[in-house]
Structure 1
Amino acid sequence: MTLRRSTFALGLLASCMMAPGIAAAQQVSGLYIAGGLGASWKESVSSGNNNTDWNVGWTGVASVGWGFGNGIRLEGEVSYRENEFDTFTRNNQLSNSVGGVNRQVGLMANALYDIPTGWSVSGVTINPYIGGGIGAGWVQGSGIRAGFPGGGSFTIDNGSGWNFAYQAIGGFAFGLGQFVPGLSLTAEYRYYATLDVDYSGSNRSNAASASSRVSGSASNQNQSVLVGFRYAFNTPRPAPVAAPAPAPAPARTFLVFFDWDRADLTDRARQIIAEAATNARTVRSTRIEVSGHADRTGSAAYNQRLSVRRAEAVAAELVRRGIPRNEMTIQGFGFDRPLVPTAMGVREPQNRRVEIVLR
Structure 2
Amino acid sequence: MKKSVYVAGALLLLPSISAAQDFNPQPGFYVGAGAGFENYLNSTSSVGGSITGGIGFGLGALIGGYDFVGPRVELEVAYGQAPITANLPNGTFYATGRQLQFMGKVLYDFFPAATFTPYVGAGAGLALVSTSGAFDSAQFAYQGLVGGAWNIDSQWRIFLEGRYIGTTSPTVNVAGVSVTAPNNNIVAIIGGQYKFAPPAAAPPPPPPPAAAAPSFMVFFDWDRSNLSAQALNTIRQAAGAYKTKGSARITATGHTDTSGPENYNMALSLRRANTVKDALVREGVPATAIAVIGRGEAGLLVQTADGVREPQNRRVEIVIQ
TM-score when normalising by structure 1: 0.45
- Partner of 2:72 in structure 1? 73
1:142 aligns with 2:160: no
Aligned length: 182
Q: Choose 1 or 2 for highest CA Rg.
A: 2
TM-superposed CA distance for 1:172, in Å, is: 1.1
One-letter code aligned to 2:192: F
TM-superposed CA distance for 1:168, in Å, is: 1.1
- Partner of 1:222 in structure 2? 185
Structure 2 counterpart SS, 1:70:
coil
Structure 2 counterpart SS, 1:166:
strand
Alpha-carbon spacing, 1:139–1:77, altered in 2? closer, same or farther (3 Å)? same
TM-superposed CA distance for 1:67, in Å, is: 3.1
CA contact under 8 A between 2:36 and 2:58: conserved in structure 1? yes
One-letter code aligned to 1:81: G
One-letter code aligned to 2:128: W
Q: 1:100 and 1:28 mapped to 2: Cα distance?
A: 47
Alpha-carbon spacing, 1:225–1:235, altered in 2? closer, same or farther (3 Å)? farther
What are the superposed Cα offsets for residues 69-102 of structure 1, whole Å, 9 maximum, x if unpaired? 33111111001110112x33346x983xx43210
Q: 2:174 and 2:28 mapped to 1: Cα distance?
A: 49
Aligned residue runs from structure 1 range 291-302, under 5 A? none
Q: 2:112 and 2:157 mapped to 1: Cα distance?
A: 15
1:170 aligns with 2:146: yes
CA contact under 8 A between 1:65 and 1:73: conserved in structure 2? no
Provide structure 2 residue ranges, at least 5 long, that are not aligned to the other structure: 2-19, 201-321
1:114 aligns with 2:109: yes
What are the superposed Cα offsets for residues 265-295 of structure 1, whole Å, 9 maximum, x if unpaired? xxxxxxxxxxxxxxxxxxxxxxxxxxxxxxx
Aligned residue runs from structure 1 range 227-238, under 5 A? 227-234=190-197
What percentage of aligned pairs have identical amino acids?
28
Q: 1:78 and 1:105 mapped to 2: Cα distance?
A: 7
Q: 1:106 and 1:202 mapped to 2: Cα distance?
A: 24
Alpha-carbon spacing, 1:167–1:25, altered in 2? closer, same or farther (3 Å)? farther
- The ranges of structure 1 where at least 4 consecutive aligned residues each deviate by more than 4 angstroms after the TM superposition are 200-203
CA contact under 8 A between 2:50 and 2:87: conserved in structure 1? yes
TM-score when normalising by structure 2: 0.50
Structure 2 counterpart SS, 1:196:
coil
Q: 2:26 and 2:187 mapped to 1: Cα distance?
A: 24
- Partner of 2:171 in structure 1? 198
CA contact under 8 A between 1:29 and 1:234: conserved in structure 2? no
Structure of greater relative contact order (alpha carbons < 8 Å, 6+ residues apart): 2
CA contact under 8 A between 2:24 and 2:113: conserved in structure 1? no
Aligned residue runs from structure 1 range 41-80, under 5 A? 41-47=39-45, 49-80=48-79
Alpha-carbon spacing, 1:94–1:26, altered in 2? closer, same or farther (3 Å)? farther
Q: 1:70 and 1:118 mapped to 2: Cα distance?
A: 8
Provide structure 1 residue ranges, at least 5 long, that are not aligned to the other structure: 2-21, 120-124, 144-157, 204-213, 238-359
- Partner of 2:252 in structure 1? none
CA contact under 8 A between 2:107 and 2:121: conserved in structure 1? yes
TM-superposed CA distance for 1:26, in Å, is: 4.1
Structure 2 counterpart SS, 1:116:
coil
One-letter code aligned to 1:183: W
One-letter code aligned to 2:138: W
Q: 2:175 and 2:66 mapped to 1: Cα distance?
A: 50
Q: 1:215 and 1:94 mapped to 2: Cα distance?
A: 14
**Alignment counterpart, residue 160 of structure 1, candidates 136, 139, 150:** 136
